[in-house]
């Protein structure tokens, strides 16, 4: 698999999704709900190269995929599809990611609302904490777990303090 390396558990999940095998058209492929996938699987999926394909293309005519790049995201007619080439140069396995674009649009809008300066402040604060913990001898997994728990707590606290906005 080209690109980022994934751990065996994530890889096993990727290759065992409800793919359709050797489909000719996008209308016939199986689908899965993007929201049902775990965070690690979603995170890795977002790193795959994307390409736009025409909705009426014969999928078996796509023969220019990189043999070494096992996974791709195809986009067509507002839908997103996960492709597993299994080392071939065509989309050997494909599954439609139901809801993918809904979440993508929502988070793109949120990202647009986050001011650049706020993003830099958040990134620098987290980087500083990571450096300090690293100097104190904590390992990477412990630091990541701590930060995730702490950020989750702070998010819940901030949302609770502004509950009138969400009613």
Higher per-residue pLDDT: 166 or 143: 143
Q: Would you state the pLDDT for residue 123?
A: 84
What residues have CB less than 8 Å from 47, skipping those under 6 apart? Answer: 3, 4
pLDDT-derived band of residue 7, with 50, 70 and 90 as boundaries? confident
Percentage of residues of the chain with pLDDT beyond 90: 53
**Does residue 44 contact residue 4 with C-beta atoms inside 8 Å?**
yes
* Domain residue ranges in the chain: 8-107, 115-166
- pTM above the 0.85 mark? no
Percentage of residues of the chain with pLDDT beyond 70: 86
pLDDT, tens digit, 9 for 90 and up, residues 70-118: 999 998 888 999 999 999 999 999 999 998 875 555 555 566 566 655 7
Residue closest to 72 by CA, chosen among 87, 61, 57? 87
**Residue 67 above 90 pLDDT?**
no
> In the chain, where does DSSP find H-type helix?
8-15, 39-45, 100-113, 116-135, 140-161
Higher per-residue pLDDT: 3 or 142: 142
pLDDT, tens digit, 9 for 90 and up, residues 122-153: 888 999 999 999 999 999 999 999 999 998 88
Higher per-residue pLDDT: 164 or 136: 136
Q: Would you state the pLDDT for residue 118?
A: 73
Q: Would you state the pLDDT for residue 115?
A: 62
């Amino acid at each position: 698999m080209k690109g980022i390396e994934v751990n065996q558990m994530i890889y096993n999940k990727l290759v065992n999704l409800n793919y359709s095998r050797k489909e000719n058209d996008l209308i016939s492929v199986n689908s899965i709900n993007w929201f049902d996938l775990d965070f690690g699987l979603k995170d890795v999926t977002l790193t795959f190269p994307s390409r736009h394909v025409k909705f009426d293309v014969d999928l078996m005519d796509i023969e220019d995929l990189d043999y070494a790049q096992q996974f791709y995201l195809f986009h067509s007619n507002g839908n997103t599809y996960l492709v597993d080439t299994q080392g071939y140069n065509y989309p050997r396995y494909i599954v439609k990611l139901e809801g993918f674009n809904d979440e993508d649009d929502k988070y793109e809008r949120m990202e647009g609302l986050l001011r650049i300066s706020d993003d830099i402040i958040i990134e620098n604060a987290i980087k500083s904490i990571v450096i300090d913990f690293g100097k104190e001898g904590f390992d990477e997994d412990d630091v990541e777990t701590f930060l995730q728990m702490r950020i989750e707590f702070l998010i819940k606290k901030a949302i609770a303090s502004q509950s009138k906005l969400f009613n």
